[in-house]
Copies of this chain bind each other. A is one copy, B any other.
């Protein structure tokens, strides 16, 4: 396997009682996943765990061991339920320290807002060896420590931190995809999908059904890291759909 064939993967740990209670709809899984795709990194697994130290430690250790990168979202704010820094330090077996640069950033940010107090100082804590990820939207930075990236839980702050990391992580060839869709019942093309996938190496076909305008349909997403293989697979799929008499739309519907 040449180095360009290497597949880079990431895990994501979402720290969130508020997600597990159903109170908040997670929006970070999709935005981290989409961002990783562009970096040539595949999101391999997500775990949503409660705000309990041992549970975060367990998930962090499981997913960092099997992936090139690990992201966390949530739990890096100023309150007692923000324990992600403690959990990651525990997972790595290092102490929590006050990061001088983070403290300086918070002192500037809160200079005209009452200054740094006990809660705000919590946001200057990092696992020992941590570096800061710029936060352009509010004061408290994200943290990079080893191959672990601690991101904010508030989606637009998380998005700003992802922007700051764009292009800084080594990735592989991005996974390319092409979609073909139509008002086609997937149950009428299941044999075709299986056979086209089986006859095109390095391609996967996903079938995503929907119900719209009173009719069933599906989008078929072909994925590959090889542009030529992708093209051939999509062409074979379209040809097969035509032979079965189905209308379809390149790009999906």
Contact = CB atoms under 8 A, between A and B. Distances in A.
A43 B20 contact: yes
B79 A190 contact: yes
- How extensive is the interface on chain A, given as a class? 35 or more
B30 A119 contact: no
A40 to B, nearest CB: 13
A29 interface: yes
A200 to B, nearest CB: 13
B43 A211 contact: no
B21 A48 contact: no
Residue among A34, A77, A81, A177 having the largest count of chain B Cβ atoms under 10 Å: A81
A249 interface: no
Contacts of A177: 21, 23
A85 B32 CA distance: 29
B22 A48 contact: no
How many identical chains are in the complex? Answer: 2
A44 B20 contact: yes
Interface in A133-185: 137-138, 154, 156, 175, 177, 185
Contacts of A30: 19, 22, 24-26
A221 B185 contact: no
Interface in A178-224: 185-191, 193-194, 197, 204-211, 216, 221, 223
Interface of A: 14, 17-27, 29-37, 42-51, 55, 77-81, 110, 113-114, 117-120, 122-123, 137-138, 154, 156, 175, 177, 185-191, 193-194, 197, 204-211, 216, 221, 223
